[in-house]
Amino acid sequence: MNKRIRNRLVYGTALVLATAAVTYACKDFLNTPPQGTVNEQTLATKSGVEGSLIAAYRSLDCSSSSAGSWGCAASNWVWGSVPSGDAYKGSNAGDQQPINDIETYIWSVGEADNYINQKWSQVYEGVSRANATMRLLAKVRAETPAAISTVDANGIKGEALFLRAHYHFEAYRMWGRIPYYYETDTDFRKANDISTDSVVKLIIADLNAAIALLPATPRNGDKGRATSWTARAYKGRVQVYGAATTPALWDSALVTLRAVRTSGPYALETSFDHVWTGFTKYRNGPETILAFQASAKDGEPSGWNSNWGERLNFPHSGSHFGCCGFHQPSYNLVNFFQVDANGLPAALAGSAWNSLDTSFTGGILTPVDPRLDWTVGRDKVPYKDWTLHNRSWIRDASYSGPYSTKKNVHEKAADAETNVGWQTTQLNDVTMHIFRYADLLLLLAEAEVEAGGAAGLANAQTIVNQIRARAAKGVQGCGSADSVTVAAWPACAGAGRARMVDTLAGGPTLFSLAEPWAVYRIGLYTTPFASQAEARTAVRLERRLELAMEGQRFFDLRRWGGADTTIANYVAKEKTRIPYLRLATPFTLPKYRYYPIPSVQIELSRVGTQERLTQNPGW
């Protein structure tokens, strides 16, 4: 374990929002001012324990005091999007070369290894802080029993256990066999000598303990705190992942996720554009299970409290944002949003959907799923409410394609930018969803499919249709009636068209709307799934459409199996569009089942001549 992460606590403005419950007012949890100099004696108070817990939440994203800046972003864009086929590194050939190495599966070179170490440092920093909170809590309770009530003590410990489970889960998704750390550990050179199935059991054990301790609503009414429902929902997520190697966990996942859906506090947002937005009225909405909420315009002088880990992921010069053009959607992803005459994914019919090798610009009226233009910036289509996306916003389209990322970008009218630091226009406080309810529903749909039988397939179909019906509630409208937009699309002139969102019209099973720049169409599955295989395909397609560019796909591909074939097919086609992908190393299993453990961590684990951390196979 990196020596830097041992027992480090960070104090200052509270920066993190972890879960949402829509009926409780936000109090002081997210607005705690700096408390001054910290030492062991001042920590041994209720305030010190609470501050230690806030520090544990802070590691949900990169922290300037613990790791680098891009490899540890809360969205996992480097690890979950770029190697998956959803996105290219973006920008140009000379900037952030290690991400190119990750994208082309050259993971063992030195600079890529450093990026991988950023992620390791982030998650184990979070583990260390969670454990430090529990140790400090025990100390205060032993020395001054009346300082913290039993109710608060249970809540604090439950939140810390939840966070410890989350950080270990992040490590498990990256590296498989990992060391698991407890608050009682004193030897930090711990071996990763347990199986991946055992790691899953340990994570679930922590979540079960958290469920038993946490209240059903946020402690003190603070929306940023984990609840028993947060832990239950997350437990279902872990069980689905664990089912990849322990199929018996499908039954457990089904029970857990059904209970959350039936009795939990979560719901889908009313429309897709309310999920990823800078508008504060949609913050802490019913879809949020676990998220990183940054802070902007809070007096911190360098912008560190904002979405620093995402700051590269905005259109380049020529746009309002001015930098830096990373995390660009792939041709493959954009083409994937095409639909058939019934508004169902064109990918259901084979690979013909991926034949367009040029830019899918506005004005090409091939019908598309409306989520395309909430996910991707493409030329001649309004970029939220900023104006039309333009090729001049791309740093080097010949290198990384013509599209821009969109979900993490704030709206012009949202006033979400920070006002300090380098390039303030690409620092904001847009909520970064780590786990949201649509994701949970689609995991439940997977569990229903694996349960099989007519009932299971019908339940899965109902869930997929629920997600698709929500996608039909709003499409990208004109945004602003600026001169560029009106010149290209005269129908956008006038206050009546200067809207952000339009609504699809149509019958109960097919929704369609023609904007000047696109034909948006989305339909529901009306014929029962004929087989488990057909249902499995529909659910997996829906996960890509719904969660595109959210850092989930690569982990999905690996747990589903067949990632080597999917990625090989992706590279074979995409290297004809993006020349540097011709240099990609073949993605072979079992080598690429997990990322390599950072070399510096293996060195730091050495006791005498023995390295306690064992490298993953093939590396």
Task: Report residue 422's pLDDT band, with 50, 70 and 90 as the boundaries.
Answer: confident
- Tell whether 116 is covered by a domain: yes
pLDDT at 449 over 80: yes
Residue 248 and residue 366 share a domain: no
* pLDDT for residue 20 is more than 70: no
Per-residue pLDDT tens for 94-112?
899 999 999 999 999 888 9
Q: What is the pLDDT of residue 304?
A: 86
Give the residue from 551, 567, 583 where a domain finishes: 551
384: left (phi over 0), alpha (psi -120 to 50) or beta: left
- Where does the pLDDT of residue 34 fall: very low under 50, low under 70, confident under 90, or very high at 90 and above? very low
Domain identity same for 533 and 602: no
463-502: per-residue pLDDT in tens?
999 999 999 999 999 988 899 999 999 989 986 667 888 8
Residue with more model confidence, 4 or 550: 550
From CA 573, how far away is CA 582, in angstroms rounded?
Answer: 10
Mean pLDDT of 60-74: 78
- The answer to whether residue 556 is domain-embedded is no
- Compute the average pLDDT of residues 301-320: 92
pTM for this one? 0.92
Say whether both 604 and 502 belong to one domain. no
b/e 416-452 (16+ beta carbons within 10 angstroms → b): bbbebbeebbbbbbbbbbbbbbbbbbbbbbbbbbbbe
Distance (Å, rounded) from C-alpha 272 to C-alpha 250?
28
For residue 12, what pLDDT is reported? Answer: 25
What band does 16 get if pLDDT is binned at 50, 70 and 90?
A: very low
Determine the average pLDDT of the residues in 18-28: 32
Same domain, 246 and 129: yes
Residue 425 domain-assigned (yes or no): no
Do 545 and 599 lie in one domain? The reply is no
Q: Is 64 within the bounds of a domain?
A: yes
**Are both 510 and 377 inside the same structural domain?**
yes
Same domain, 384 and 524: yes
Give the structural domain span for 233: 3-265+595-611
- The confidence score (pLDDT) of residue 496 equals 67
Based on the fold, state whether residues 600 and 541 are members of the same structural domain: no
- The reply to whether 299 falls in a domain is no
**Is 604 inside a domain boundary?**
yes
Distance separating alpha carbons of residues 226 and 560, to the nearest angstrom? 29
pLDDT at 506: 87
Amino acid letter, 108:
S
Q: How would you write 532-596 as a 3-class SS string? A: HHHHHHHHHHHHHHHHCCCCCHHHHHHHHCCHHHHHHHHHHHHCCCCHHHHHCCCCCCCHHHCCC
> Domain end: 516, 534, 551, which one?
551
25 and 96 share one domain? yes
The predicted pLDDT at position 32 comes to: 52
Identity of the amino acid at 555: F
For residue 35, pLDDT over 80 is answered with no
Residue appearing with tokens 């991946």: 196
* 316 within some domain: no
Question: Would you state the pLDDT for residue 421?
Answer: 85
With cut-offs at 50, 70 and 90, classify the pLDDT of residue 64: low
Domain of 161, CATH number, reads 1.25.40.390
The predicted structure's pLDDT at residue 302? 86
Total domain count, the chain: 2
**Which whole number is the average pLDDT over 71-77?**
94
Pick the range with the lowest mean pLDDT from 19-23, 353-357, 521-525: 19-23
> Is the pLDDT reported for residue 155 higher than 70?
yes
Residues 63 and 10 in one domain: yes
Report the pLDDT averaged over residues 348-353: 93
Q: Which pLDDT score is estimated for 500?
A: 82
Q: Is pLDDT at 287 greater than 80 in this prediction?
A: yes
Confidence of residue 549 (pLDDT cuts 50, 70, 90): very high
**Residues in contact with 268: Cβ distance below 8 Å, sequence separation at least 6, in sequence order:** 286, 287, 437, 438, 441, 466, 467, 470
Confidence of residue 120 (pLDDT cuts 50, 70, 90): very high
Pair 109, 192 in one domain? yes
Residue 6 has pLDDT above 50, yes or no: no
Decide if 310 is inside a domain. Answer: no
Given a cut of 80, is residue 511 above it in pLDDT?
Answer: yes
Alpha helices in 35-109 (DSSP H): 40-43, 46-58, 97-103
Domain boundary residue among 535, 551, 567?
A: 551
The two tokens of residue 228 are 């028993």
Q: Which tokens hold the place of 409?
A: 């970008």
What per-residue confidence (pLDDT) applies to 19?
31
C-alpha 550, offset from chain centre: 4
What pLDDT was estimated at residue 3?
Answer: 31
Average pLDDT of the chain is 91
State pLDDT tens for residues 242-256: 999 999 999 999 999
607 and 510 together in one domain:
no
pLDDT score for 28 = 47
The pLDDT of 580-604, averaged and rounded, is 96
Q: Give the tokens for residue 511.
A: 């929704």
Of the given ranges (316-320, 370-374, 536-540), which has the lowest mean pLDDT? 316-320
